[in-house]
Amino acid sequence: MHIWSKTNLYMSINISETLTFECETGNYHTFCPISCVAWLYQKIEDSFFLVVGTKTCGYFLQNALGVMIFAEPRYAMAELEEGDISAQLNDYQELKRLCLQIKKDRNPSVIIWIGTCTTEIIKMDLEGMAPKLENEIEIPIIVARANGLDYAFTQGEDTVLAAMAHRCPEQDLSIGSTKEIETKSIQKLFSFLPTDKNKTAKHFTKNSNAKHSLVLFGSIPSTVASQLSLELNRQSIQVSGWLPAQRYMELPMLGNNVYVCGVNPFLSRTATTLMRRRKCKLIGAPFPIGPDGTRAWIEEICSVFGIETQGLESREQQIWESLKNYLNLVRGKSIFFMGDNLLEISLARFLIRCGMIVYEIGIPYMDKRYQAAELKFLQMTCKKMSIPMPRIVEKPDNYNQIQRMRELQPDLAITGMAHANPLEARGINTKWSVEFTFAQIHGFTNAKEVLELVTRPLRRNNNLENLGWTDLVKEK
């Protein structure tokens, strides 16, 4: 359930004199959220993802993720056929057969069922079957409804992490020593296993015995997670765990004494689950994208823990100095976000700080509570750079957007793959928004990667001009 709801009618909501949201009635031109399997199975190393859907879902996975086939990915497709859909076949027995085969071939620590649109439509009771089956096969089964009814493909991760948050061990400081806390929490997590077979619990990573701990949530590469943890460690803050962890048996402890902070703007469902169901305290901070965002993210966490930051300003300035060549190329250039992956606000804020002009920020959906700190930071950045606030359009109508782009003629458009070639044919440089999803863009050291992606079309055009090819293309 989303924190904010809205109708499909066009509306304008003024949060302040300078921040205005508009909502159009366009379709969601994004990937299906089941594509989250592509990066989650790599992040959670001892997992296996079973996508339950039709042949159409299988075709999508085959085409979208087919490049990974030689890596022996840990995901599979359970195809629903006519017999399943007409309730002539026994769903439980078939899923049991598949999961037993997965256990025999891969022996994962957890199996994650990804429910698709079809399982929603035919009311397949995945949540009812999973507990019974995990008792039988003695492997945890998590159900996540990452279907095409979501707003953006990145929200597939949000659904999976929200479901996984329920399986994190409970932190209960009232029952005794840290050792007793850990033992009770681990036993609860694996309570469905027979006592004599519950041997995996001892491999759990132990959390620190501090009164208040910090858990970060969001799936990012392990190297980037280590970088962010190191930056916080420099400020004397120890990260007690990540959701998701690299291994299912390393899930962090959650409870009243745990602070949580997100690293991605599309995890509002996970944030809601952590607050309401697991009683954690959410740190509302801008997201660590760009040197400015990373510094603000660290400062907010430090302020919650009552720690005065050390050397953070010079650290940020050092990164800006290393980006000078990129900044000279983007300064004064204009950019238009069509809306695709829910990273648009954070990316726009960073690029405005780099000196770019953002005409419009299209975004499929935005939780205005979860992104409140980012929106405030966007306002501060525009004021600092002495430029007007860009218009923010939720659920944009792509036809109207193209008309606006024809008038504005931006130097670059960040768009979904479906619109890239038509826009290029009309003389507008494009960059696929999905590339920002898969790139390493978080933290101080990865700010260069964002500008590398943004400037690639601009540098390509500069090279063509130097070769005298642009005039030839225009003549044709």
pLDDT in tens, the chain (476 residues): 223 222 222 223 333 446 788 888 776 677 889 989 989 998 999 999 999 998 888 888 887 766 555 556 788 888 887 777 666 677 899 899 999 999 999 999 999 999 998 888 888 899 999 999 999 999 999 999 988 778 889 999 999 999 999 999 998 665 443 444 444 444 444 555 544 444 433 333 333 334 789 999 999 999 999 999 999 999 999 999 999 999 999 999 999 999 999 999 999 999 999 999 999 999 999 999 999 999 999 999 999 999 999 999 999 999 999 999 999 999 999 999 998 999 999 999 999 999 999 999 999 988 999 999 999 999 999 999 999 999 999 999 988 999 999 999 999 999 988 889 999 998 899 999 999 999 999 999 999 999 999 999 988 876 655 555 444 344 44
What residues have CB less than 8 Å from 283, skipping those under 6 apart? 259, 260, 261, 300, 301, 304
* CATH homologous superfamily of 178-193+200-304: Nitrogenase molybdenum iron protein domain (3.40.50.1980)
> What are the two backbone dihedrals, phi and then psi, of residue 441, each rounded to the nearest 5 degrees?
-120, 0
Q: Rounded distance, CA 20 to CA 98, Å?
A: 50
Q: Quick one: how many helices (H) and strands (E) in the chain? A: 20, 15
CATH assignment of 33-150? 3.40.50.1980
Q: What angle do CA 119, 124, 126 make, to 5 degrees?
A: 100
Within 13 Å and on the Cβ side, how many CA atoms surround 205?
A: 16
Beta bridge partners of 362: 393
pLDDT at position 18 is 64
Q: Which CATH architecture has domain 312-475?
A: 3-Layer(aba) Sandwich (3.40)
- Strands in 141-144's sheet, in edge-to-edge order, are 75-79, 47-53, 110-115, 141-144
pLDDT at position 460 is 80
DSSP state letter for 243: E
pLDDT at position 347 is 98
Q: Rounded distance, CA 397 to CA 77, Å?
A: 33
Cβ 297 vs Cβ 286: under 8 Å: yes
- The CA–CA distances, whole Å, from 190 to 50, 110, 194, 254, 440 equal 21, 11, 9, 16, 34
Q: Rounded distance, CA 330 to CA 327, Å?
A: 5
Count of Cβ atoms closer than 10 Å to residue 128 Cβ: 11
| From-to residues of CATH 3.40.50.1980 in the chain | 33-150, 178-193+200-304, 312-475
Q: Is residue 268 helix, strand or coil? A: helix
pLDDT at position 200 is 39
4-20 residues labelled b (16+ CB within 10 A) or e (exposed) = eeeeeeeeeeeeeeebe
Cβ 280 vs Cβ 262: under 8 Å: no
pLDDT at position 448 is 96
